[in-house]
Amino acid sequence: MMAPGAIVAITPASLRALKTPVSILLGDADPVAPPRSNGELAARLIPHATLKTLHDVGHYDFLADCTAAARRQEPPCLHLKVPQQRTHATAIAVADAFFSASWPSGKDAGNNH
């Protein structure tokens, strides 16, 4: 999950019952899906969930790179504190490590044969 939102809408029992490996990546500067009531809550309730928090990263920082024009006028691009390329590289590295650890090569997560 990247910058998960609406976690409070999911019952705690449902989150505790998850058996699938879950990795949560969020920014600590996310006003859209505040970490405390979303990603951090999910990480506390989901068994064996991993959580990675990126400092000064907001909700929209995970989206495609903002153009120069968008950085001057588009709300999601106006307050970038961390270069999006760094956020994207971290997201890719976290996902790669998670999937490599959760489903080592030679095993198909969707088939048990």
pLDDT at 21: 92
What stretches of the chain adopt beta strand conformation (E)? 23-27, 50-54
**Residue 27 falls inside a structural domain:** yes
When pLDDT is averaged across residues 23-43 and rounded to a whole number, the result is: 95
Looking up tokens 């405390």 gives: 36
**Residue 110 falls inside a structural domain:** no
**Residue 43 falls inside a structural domain:** yes
pTM equals: 0.80
Chain segment 46-78, per-residue pLDDT in tens: 999 999 999 999 988 888 887 778 777 767 776
Residues 87 and 89: their CA atoms lie apart, in Å, by: 6
User: pLDDT over 70 for what percent of the chain?
Assistant: 88
Residues 75 and 69: their CA atoms lie apart, in Å, by: 12
**Residue 65 falls inside a structural domain:** yes
Looking at the structure of the chain, the number of domains it has is 1
Contacts of 58 (CB under 8 A, 6+ apart): 27, 29, 30, 31, 32, 76, 79, 80, 81
Chain segment 74-93, per-residue pLDDT in tens: 677 766 788 888 999 999 99
**Residue 61 falls inside a structural domain:** yes
**Residue 1 falls inside a structural domain:** no
